Every structure is written in C-alpha cells, then in structure tokens.
C-alpha cells in the first residue's frame, strides 16, 4: 500500500476523533448508532455500529479506512474520504461531504453525492499526537491509527467479494445470498479504543468478541519508516506512514 506522502495534509482543525451525534436523510433520522471517525493528518478510519447490528446482524455494520483530502470549492470546504479498506462492498458514489464548522469542536457535513446531513463533535482528549502504522509482515496488512489518547485498528478480510457483487449490493445482501461465505465476509476488524500506559483497550469493534479486551501495545520507532510493536504476540514490525509525537515511543 502506498504511503501517499504526496497527498496534502488536511487542515489541522480536522484532526482528532469525531463522534457522530445525528444523521438525517429525507426518510430517516439516526442518533443512536455508535460512530467514530479518527482523522490524522492524511489518514482516516471510521466505525459505525447500529443498534440493530447486535447481536446477530453484523453485516449491518459499516467502517472503512483510507486517505482524506480537503479542497475548497466556491468558498466551501469539501472533504473526500478515499477508501482503501471497506467493511461494505464498493458503492456507486464517492464518499464526499461539504463541511461547515460550528465553533472548533463541532462540524456539520452535508452530502455531495447523496442527500444527508451529519452532525459531528470532537471527542475530548483526541488531539495532539497522531500516528499511522501499517503492518509489515502480513499479506493483508493491518493498520493502526492513533490520535491523542485514542486508537483504531483495522484488519481487512482476506476473502474476495463474490463474483456476482454489484455496486447496489450491501454486505447484508451478500451474506444472505452466499450464507456459506458469511464467516469469511464478516471477518473484518475495525476496533476503536484507548491507547495509554502501554495498553490498548477496545471499547467497540466490528468483531464483538474483542470489545472490553485490554492488551499490551507499546510501539517503538526504530527508523524513519519502521517501528516495532510489542504486543500480546510478541514483537511485530510496522511501516511508519505518519508519526507526529514526541520521542520514539508510542504507548
């Protein structure tokens, strides 16, 4: 995966972890889904867990990870999320929203390619240090994003989409159409939690069994583009895609 070093960083006021407090569309209103969007200087990760997804309909979950760009069109900021990893099948439209900040800790997003409005509030303690790491010793590399006290870990599924997948399909459609493939299609981790004192504690995850887990996580930068993570399975090697934190230790 490219490190996208040529991608311009987003404005500083986008960085942090954002909590979605409201989604409205012409036909619906949602203020109960658990949604966290973590934004570093260039990268994002997003997890969305609706109440209806638990305990038995995990295909309703959403989440993705990729590179973020912000551009100004006619005086308005347009944020684009270029998804590299996605829990759901590829949709028919790019992910883009017009952004209006309401003070420094709240923003309103309105859809560019779809009719929706979302209200987001920044999570206290989520600014300051940030980092983006990619596992170096895996064919389906995990990603770890850190912003302030918080972290998101993303590990994609290894299974390919079924051959009959279209841009109109949701993961729920595919699981119902291919029940034998459901375990592999749902095997996609997006976990949100807190990184502090050398421990990663998971609050919410696309894999419910991980919720409430607490594991060792101490990351040492060993060169400009490499780091070693000391975790529950020992030392693993990671590529440094972003690192803006004091010193060579992230814990």
Residues 49-69: tens digit of each pLDDT: 999 999 999 999 999 999 999
Average pLDDT over residues 196-209: 97
pLDDT at position 3 over 60: no
What domains can you pick out in the chain, each with its CATH number? 12-122 (2.40.128.320), 130-246 (2.40.128)
Identify which of 2, 10, 1 has the alpha carbon closest to the alpha carbon of residue 244.
10
Handedness of CA 20, 24, 27, 31 (dihedral sign): positive
Residue positions counted in the chain? 251
Residue 202, beta-bridge partner list: 193
Token couple for 37 = 């969007």
Cα-Cα end-to-end distance for the chain: 25
DSSP string, 49-91: E-GGGTTT-GGG-EEEEEEEEEEEETTEEEEEEEEEEESSPP-
Percent of the chain with pLDDT over 90: 91
Average pLDDT over residues 122-132: 97
- The whole-number pLDDT of residue 74 equals 83
Average pLDDT over residues 220-240: 95
Q: CA-CA distance, 54 to 48, in Å (whole number)?
A: 12
What confidence tens digit (pLDDT) does each residue in 138-193 have? Answer: 777 899 999 999 999 999 999 999 999 999 999 999 999 999 999 999 999 999 99
């Amino acid at each position: 995966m490219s490190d996208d070093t040529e991608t311009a960083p987003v404005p500083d006021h986008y960085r942090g972890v954002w909590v979605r407090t409201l989604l409205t569309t012409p036909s619906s209103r949602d203020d109960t889904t658990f949604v966290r969007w973590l934004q570093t200087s260039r990268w994002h990760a997003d997890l969305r867990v609706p109440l209806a997804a638990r305990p038995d309909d995990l295909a309703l979950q959403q989440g993705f990870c990729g590179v973020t760009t912000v551009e100004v069109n006619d005086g308005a900021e347009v944020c684009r999320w270029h998804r590299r990893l996605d829990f759901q099948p590829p949709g028919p439209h790019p992910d883009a929203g017009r952004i209006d900040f309401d003070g420094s800790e709240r923003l309103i997003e309105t859809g560019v390619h779809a009719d929706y409005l979302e209200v987001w509030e920044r999570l206290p303690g989520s600014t300051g240090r940030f980092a983006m790491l990619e596992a170096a010793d895996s064919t389906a590399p995990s990603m770890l994003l850190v912003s302030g006290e918080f972290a998101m870990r993303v590990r994609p599924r290894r299974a390919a989409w079924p051959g009959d997948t279209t841009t109109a399909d949701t993961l729920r459609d595919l699981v119902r159409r291919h029940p034998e493939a459901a375990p592999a299609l749902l095997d996609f981790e997006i976990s949100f939690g807190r990184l502090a004192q050398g421990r990663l504690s998971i609050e919410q995850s696309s894999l419910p069994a991980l919720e409430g887990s607490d594991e060792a996580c101490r990351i040492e930068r060993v060169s400009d583009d490499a780091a070693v993570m000391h975790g529950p399975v020992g030392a693993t090697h990671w590529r440094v895609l972003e690192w803006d934190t004091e010193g060579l230790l992230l814990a």
